Amino acid sequence: MPDTHRVPNDLESFWMPFTANRQFKARPRLLVAAKGMHYTSHDNRQILDGTAGLWCCNAGHGHPKIVGAIQAQAAEMDYAPAFQMGHPKAFELASRIAALFPGDLNRVFYTNSGSESVETALKIAIAYQRTIGQGTRTRLIGRERGYHGVNFGGISVGGIPNNRKFFGPMLGGVDHLRHTHLPDKNAFTRGEPAHGAELADDLERLVALHDASTIAAVIVEPVAGSTGVLIPPKNYLQRLRQICDKHGILLIFDEVITGFGRLGPAFAVEKFGVMPDIVTMAKGVTSGTVPMGAVIARQFIYDAFMSGPDHAIELFHGYTYSGHPLACAAGLATLDVYQQDGLFENATALSGYWEDAAHSLRSLPHVIDIRNLGIIAGIELEPIAGQPTKRAFDIFLRAYEKGLLIRTTGDIIALSPPLSLTKAHIDQMFGTLADLLKAA
Ligand code: PXG
């Protein structure tokens, strides 16, 4: 075996995900430490985290309670088999996640990422329909501009062209609702836009086209994040729920970014008062410290599987690392921190200040829309003619030089800092952006 310490350490071996590899490797941006609201860069600068990592570090970085819980768990028990065996923290965490949801959303299935949560939710939906004697219901409905991770089910129901077009035919039997972005009517709306609830009626059209007896489930992000922050029009989600009910279609909320206080309440389910049948989550469940995802299903879905002989496996699905002990320990400590530090309350309390700060950029050069909800903001810039994505990416690079981490997608800047933020952090974020936009 080669001595792996002696191979040259350069940047070439690592094929980086969703990254402009050549640009990055020419001018690397390495983060070497993190504490609270800040990263430390390799050149020893403090970088304000405007993105909670990738929408995941809702509790901020390096929280001593979470760090301690992970360290203790690693020493106590590294791993327990996930199939036909269990360990106490997996059950405890499932109960505590279920307690964050209303009604009978109370059966938790563990995964290791948002993408796996999506695949799990889609598979549970199709298998559920078959289990109740509706085996012709195999069709999945997603939405244009939707992001549901990068696995084949997720890109099939997803609606981001670049994430789909390279990867062949994907899943069959999928169709899409139109997206809800209506800039002519809704630009610069604070919070939920007034126009667009009727776009939910697309589902009626798809039912008319395909027949309800072929449709298993609809999946949407309550707030679409990756595509550049699209807030649902008032009553849109309610209307989608009604149409699903009318036709026996399951409604799946992909809450991978909206979960764990991002909108103030624990989940969008509570924020919008709409009850889906299945919810996906990841990211904030461990505040990004250990990879983990989960799916929560309503009890009637779980119960439908609990037939047949007692010794038989009811759902042929699961991952080696489903409910990994380190992730469960991190999850339990993270939920403690959310509660004890009042982070969801902090998000709710600051959401008005956040909204005002975001919309203060309205009249700056090239800003064509601003969208916000909870502690999320999307600032859409006019693309440079013939060079889409460049304007926002340049701002990203310059913000990083100025000590602020943002995310961009297309020409949209997305902000989603840890929920431990203060007014001073908000001032710094939007102040830095204002300076950069003025100078651009
Ligand atoms: N569903 C939704 C709604 C997501 O936002 C996933 C599924 C997939 O999660 P994993 O853990 O497999 O990556 C996501 C992920 C961004 C950004 O900057 C968003 C995500 C991931 C990375 C970057 O918008 N969302």
Q: How far is the CA of 280 from the centre of ligand 1 (A)?
A: 11
d(CA 69, CA 287): 13
- Beta strands at 293-298 and 105-111: parallel, antiparallel or unpaired: antiparallel
Kindly report, residue by residue over 16-52, the tens digit of the pLDDT: 999 999 999 999 999 999 999 999 999 999 999 999 9
Which residue's C-alpha comes closest to atom 24 of ligand 1? 226
The separation between the first and the last C-alpha atoms of the chain, rounded to the nearest angstrom, is 53
Residue 166 pLDDT grade (very low, low, confident, very high; cuts 50, 70, 90): very high
Phi, psi of 216 (to 5 degrees): -85, -45
The residue extents of the domains of the chain are: 21-59+342-439, 68-340
pLDDT tens column, 380-400: 999 999 999 999 999 999 999
Topology annotation, domain 68-340: Aspartate Aminotransferase; domain 2 (3.40.640)
The CA-CA-CA angle for residues 208, 213, 214, to 5°, reads 85
Q: Is residue 415 a contact partner of residue 429, using CB atoms and an 8 Å limit? A: yes
Instruction: Check pLDDT > 80 for residue 221.
Output: yes
Whether residue 407 has its Cβ less than 6 Å from ligand 1? yes
Spatial distance between the Cα atoms of 92 and 299, rounded to a whole number of angstroms: 18
Longest alpha-carbon distance in the chain: 69
The number of beta carbons lying within 10 Å of the beta carbon of residue 342 is: 14
Question: What's the rounded mean pLDDT across residues 318-340?
Answer: 98
The kind and range of the H/E element at 294 are: strand 293-298
Q: Which of 289, 338, 341 is nearest to 71 (CA)?
A: 289
CATH of domain 21-59+342-439: 3.90.1150.10
Query: Which protein residue's CA is at the shortest distance from atom 16 of ligand 1?
Result: 226
Indicate the DSSP class of residue 382. P
Strand order in the sheet with 367-373: 367-373, 376-381, 412-415, 407-409
- Ligand 1 mean position, distance from CA 257 (Å): 7
pLDDT mean across residues, the chain: 97
- What average pLDDT does the segment 153-181 reach? 98
The whole-number average pLDDT for the span 403-416 is 98
